[in-house]
Amino acid sequence: MPPKASKSKDAPVERPILGRFSSHLKIGIVGMPNVGKSTLFNTLTKMSIAAENYPFCTIDPNEARVNVPDERFEWLCQLFKPKSEVSAFLEIHDIAGLVRGAHQGEGLGNSFLSHIRAVDGIFHVLRAFEDVDITHVDDTVDPVRDLETISQELRLKDIEFMENKIEDLEKSMKRSNDKQLKLEHEICLKVKAWVEEGKDIRLGEWKASEVEVLNTFQLLTAKPVVYLVNMTEKDYQRKKNKFLPKIHAWVQEHGGEQIIPFSGIFEKNLTDMPEDEAARYCEEKQVQSGIPKIIKTGFSAINLIYFFTAGPDEVKCWQIRRQAKAPQAAGTIHTDFERGFICAEVMKFEDLKELGSESAVKNVGFIGLGNMGSHMAMNLVKSGYEVSVCDITLAFDFRNVTAVKPFLEKGVPVRQNPAEIAEASDVVITMLPSSSHVTNVYTGLNGLLQNNSSLRPWLFIDCSTIDPLTSRKVSLSVSDCALNEKL
Q: Which candidate, 487, 428, 425, places its Cα nearest to that of 462?
A: 428
Neighbouring residues of 281: CB distance < 8 A, sequence distance ≥ 6: 270, 273
User: Phi and psi for 353 in degrees, rounded to 5?
Assistant: -65, -40
**Alpha-carbon gap, residue 312 to 82, rounded angstroms:** 4
SS3 for 201-223, per residue?
A: HHHCCCCHHHHHHHCCCCCHHHC
User: Phi and psi for 104 in degrees, rounded to 5?
Assistant: -100, 5
pLDDT, position 98: 67
Q: Which candidate, 44, 69, 85, places its Cα nearest to that of 297?
A: 69
The answer to whether residues 371 and 420 touch, using CB atoms and an 8 Å cutoff, is: no
Sequence letter at residue 80? F
Please, what's the b/e burial string for 336-352 (b: 16 or more CB within 10 A of its CB; e: otherwise)? ebbeeeeeeeeeeeebb
Sequence letter at residue 84? S
What ranges make up the beta strands (E) of 382-469? 387-390, 414-415, 427-430, 459-462
Going across the sheet that includes 225-230, the strands are 63-67, 89-94, 26-30, 121-127, 225-230, 259-262
- Pairing type for strands 304-310 and 314-321 reads antiparallel
pLDDT, position 56: 40
The answer to whether residues 264 and 39 touch, using CB atoms and an 8 Å cutoff, is: yes
Sequence letter at residue 31? G
Going across the sheet that includes 314-321, the strands are 84-86, 314-321, 304-310
Q: Which candidate, 15, 43, 41, 46, places its Cα nearest to that of 30?
A: 41
Q: Which residues make beta-bridge pairs with 428?
A: 388, 460
pLDDT, position 462: 52
pLDDT, position 350: 84
> Which whole-number Å values give the CA distances from 83 to 48, 52, 240, 270, in the listed order?
21, 16, 46, 30
One digit per residue, pLDDT tens: the chain, 487 residues? Answer: 333 444 444 445 678 899 998 888 999 999 988 898 888 998 988 766 554 444 444 445 588 899 999 999 999 999 999 999 999 999 999 887 766 665 555 544 456 678 899 999 999 999 999 988 887 777 899 999 999 999 999 999 999 999 999 999 999 999 988 889 999 999 999 999 999 999 999 999 999 999 999 999 999 999 999 999 999 999 999 999 999 999 999 999 999 999 999 999 999 999 999 999 999 999 998 999 999 999 999 999 999 999 999 999 999 999 999 988 888 888 999 888 888 877 777 888 887 888 788 877 765 544 443 444 555 556 666 666 666 665 543 333 434 445 556 666 767 776 666 666 666 666 666 655 444 555 565 566 566 656 665 555 455 555 544 333 333 333 323 333 333 333 3
pLDDT, position 14: 73
